Structure formats: C-alpha cells, structure tokens
Chain A
Amino acid sequence: MKKLIVILLAVAAVFGMTSCNSSSPSKVVTSYYKALQAGDLEKAMTYTDLTSDEEIQKQIEKFNTFEIKVQNFEVVSETIADDGNSAVVEVKQTVTSAFNSEPKEDTKKLNLVKVDGKWKIHE
C-alpha cells in the first residue's frame, strides 16, 4: 500500500512538473513567436494580456500596417520575480518590417505577468 502511495505521488509530481513547464514564461514566449512566425496573429494575441477586441485588433493592425514579421527567434534567458507573479524573457529575434530594408537582428526583453494563474506577455 505504501509503495502504491509513493508511486502515485511520484506520478503526480511528474505530471505537476510537466504542467508547470508547459506554461512557463519561456514556453509562452516561444508559442507567441511561433504563432507570429506562422502569421497567425489572432493566436499570438492569446499569449498576451490584451483582452478587449478593440485592443487586440489595434495590435494586429500594427503588425499588418508595418508588415512586422518574425524570421527567426531564440529564447536567451528567463527571470522570474521572487513573488512569482512577473517575469522577463529575453529573446534574440530577427524581424522584418516596412521600416527596415534588411532584417533587423536584436534582443528584445518581454515582460510577462500572471493572469488567473497563466503567464501572459504584457503589452
């Protein structure tokens, strides 16, 4: 019986850790950039803390108007605040837009906040 409890606890711990990882700040940022790379702006917005339709459409309009597109990205670092409610994820990104004749390569720091227990990119 004790063995069974230990096994169940171990399984629960593994599941718990997996679930934490899948919603880590880095994972959310990765999903956001992947959606942008795929041109799925609506999906990308679900990883942000924008909630109203007006805000979301305004942000999508910015991407479209300035032809902002992600070519490549790589998460460089992740820092979670001591209180566990905010985080900063550093991303090395290659972006093209109406502003640049050549792709722009730089490092962008994204701020994340916890909204209803989920990490969201703060816009």
Chain B
Amino acid sequence: MNRVSTFLLLISLIFTGCHKKVTPVEYVLPDTVQLQSGDLAFRTGISKESRAVTTLDRNSIYTHVGMVVWTDDGWRVLHAVPNERASKQEEDSVKLEPIGTFFRSDRAEKGGIYRYPLTPKDTQQLREHALALYARHPLFDNLFDAQDTIAFYCTELVYFLYLQELQIDLSEGRRHNLPLYPDLIFCTDVSRNSKLQEVWSFH
C-alpha cells in the first residue's frame, strides 16, 4: 500500500509540475517614486531581440524604452514594441500600458525610470503630443526607418517626441549600424544621454 501511495504521489507531482504555468506578475512601483510626463521608462526584456541587443552591445543595460504619460486612467507608458500582440491577426503597434504591465515579470528582468530636466510647460507639451500620437494608433516600424513619422520602433518613438516637441536630440546623434538595415537608434544611444537622471531602478 505504501508503495502504491508513493507511486501515485510521484505521478501526481510529475503531472502537476508539467501543467504548472508561471503567471506573469504586474510590477508594483514603490509609492516613493514620483513620476512626471516625459520620464523615460527603460527595461531589459527576455525576448530574443533583447538578448541580441545585449550580446552585440555589451554596454547596453536596457533594451527597450517608452515614455511615461499621465492619462485620465493614471500613469501609462507609451511605447512601440514588436511581438506583443494579443492575437496574430493584430499588427504590432504603439501601445499605452500601465506601468506595472510595462515592467511585468515576463517582459522585464531589469528596469528603470529616468528623467530629462524639463520645465512644467515641456512636460505638458510632451504629454499632449504623446496622447495625440497614440490617438492615431501608429504601427510598429518594421522597416526601422527613423526618417518616417508614420510608424515607430521603441527608441525612434521617444526620440521623435522629444525632437519634434522640444528640439532635444535624446540620442545626441549616436547611431548603431546593422547590415541590411538603416542606421538604428539603440537604447544605449538614448540611455547614454548625459542629462538623464535616474529616478528609480530595479535589477
């Protein structure tokens, strides 16, 4: 009987283990973090494109970036991301997500909020522009063409908002070259901006 019980217990443990799914956990930002529109939210993902970026660019701490915006529903991150569609029928597009979702456990293993010194008028301008841009529902820029303003990839989006609204070049002219691609603005090209100050981070 003991043997049978042990066998059944083992079998049930094996099957429970096989079917166990890890539920992604929404990140809870500490109350002490005071956000403002225009803050940059960086994260390092666990996707293969994130791995590729960190493999090639050893100086890169982060691999994805979005912009923090105050909305009627609370703080959100405006960001352009590939391969995070709810269904295959949808197209990759610019998203406006809660902070906790942006830093969700299955999407971020490192993250941080960084601030460019801005006036209240600047932050208001950025916020309005970001929300107006989101209302157009632009697509993710699969061509990675920073010259167009129809579709955006992650760094292109924050670069575009700051440049067009405030004439600030977050990348300070830095670019990365990949074969068969146009010159790209990598996360590190933005995060290396000397004026950015860390508000909060987790590793």
Which of A4-12, A56-64, A112-120 lies on the face that meets chain B?
A56-64
Q: Which A residues lie within 8 Å of B143 (CB)?
A: 104, 106
- Residues facing B in A27-60 (CB within 8 A) are 36, 59
Q: Which B residues lie within 8 Å of A59 (CB)?
A: 179
- Residues facing B in A87-108 (CB within 8 A) are 93, 95, 97-102, 104, 106, 108
Does chain A have a CB within 8 A of B39?
A: no
Per-position contact with B for A69-80: 1 when CB-CB < 8 Å, else 0?
A: 010000000000
Does chain A have a CB within 8 A of B122?
A: no
Determine if A62 and B179 form an interchain contact, defined as CB atoms under 8 angstroms apart. Answer: yes
When C-beta atoms are compared, the residue in chain B nearest to A104 turns out to be B142
Q: B interface, by DSSP: helix, strand, loop or mixed?
A: loop
Q: How many A-B residue pairs have CB under 8 A?
A: 46
Does chain A have a CB within 8 A of B9?
A: no
- Residues facing A in B126-151 (CB within 8 A) are 142-145
Does chain A have a CB within 8 A of B56?
A: yes
Contact of B178 among A66, A70, A106 (CB under 8 A): A66
* B175: min CB distance to chain A, Å: 14
Does chain A have a CB within 8 A of B92?
A: yes
Give the docked Cα–Cα distance between A4 and B180 (Å): 50
Contact of B144 among A70, A98, A99, A123 (CB under 8 A): A99
Q: Which A residues lie within 8 Å of B177 (CB)?
A: 123
Does chain A have a CB within 8 A of B52?
A: yes
For chain B, the count of residues having a C-beta within 8 Å of the partner chain is 17
Give the docked Cα–Cα distance between A106 and B49 (Å): 20
Contact of A102 among B49, B55, B142, B180 (CB under 8 A): B142
- Residues facing A in B166-191 (CB within 8 A) are 177-181
Task: Decide yes or no: A68 and B179 within 8 Å by CB, A99-B82, A101-B92, A102-B142 being known contacts.
Answer: yes
* A88: min CB distance to chain B, Å: 15
* A42: min CB distance to chain B, Å: 14
Give the docked Cα–Cα distance between A67 and B48 (Å): 10
Does chain A have a CB within 8 A of B12?
A: no
Q: Which A residues lie within 8 Å of B180 (CB)?
A: 36, 68, 70, 93, 95, 108
Does chain B have a CB within 8 A of A19?
A: no
Nearest 6 interchain pairs by C-beta: A98-B49, A98-B52, A106-B143, A65-B52, A66-B52, A65-B56
Other 14 A-B pairs with CB < 8 A, given A66-B56, A67-B52, A101-B83: A59-B179, A61-B56, A62-B178, A68-B180, A70-B180, A98-B48, A99-B49, A99-B82, A99-B144, A100-B82, A101-B92, A104-B142, A104-B143, A123-B177
- A residues with a Cβ closer than 8 A to B are 36, 59, 61-63, 65-68, 70, 93, 95, 97-102, 104, 106, 108, 123
A-B contact pairs, 19 of them (CB 8 A): A61-B56, A62-B56, A62-B178, A62-B179, A65-B52, A65-B55, A66-B178, A68-B178, A68-B179, A93-B180, A95-B181, A98-B48, A98-B49, A100-B142, A102-B142, A104-B143, A104-B144, A106-B145, A123-B177
